[in-house]
């Protein structure tokens, strides 16, 4: 049996009209904590790096690290 694990950082933002939009970052650093995620989200929002059809991102709604494990049966 081969076990494969992948991690993804999921960031959910709201734009200026309150519409939610999500971005996923594959293979985030193992030592991420809430403070680091909040700081990165603040930088993304303030830099206006991303925008939606409704306008700029306004706030971080959620930041989650999702772990996906696959066990291949031989």
Domain holding 20, by residue range, is: 2-72
Read off the pLDDT band of 74 (50, 70, 90). confident
Number of H helices, E strands in the chain: 1, 4
pLDDT tens readout for residues 23-40: 999 999 999 999 999 999
Read off the pLDDT band of 1 (50, 70, 90). confident
Share of the chain above pLDDT 90, in %: 91
Domain count for the chain, please give it: 1
- Name every residue whose Cβ is closer than 8 Å to that of residue 65 and which is 6 or more positions away in sequence: 7, 8, 9, 10, 28, 32
pLDDT tens readout for residues 52-66: 999 999 999 999 999
Q: Check if the beta carbon of residue 61 is closer than 8 Å to that of residue 20.
A: yes
Report the chain's mean pLDDT, rounded to a whole number: 95
């Amino acid at each position: 049996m081969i076990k494969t694990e992948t991690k993804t950082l999921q960031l959910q933002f709201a734009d200026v009209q309150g519409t939610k939009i999500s971005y996923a970052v594959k293979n985030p650093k193992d030592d991420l904590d809430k403070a680091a995620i909040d700081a990165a989200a603040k930088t993304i929002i303030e830099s206006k790096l991303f925008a939606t059809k409704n306008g700029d991102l306004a706030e971080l709604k959620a930041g989650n690290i999702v772990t996906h494990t696959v066990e291949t049966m031989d």
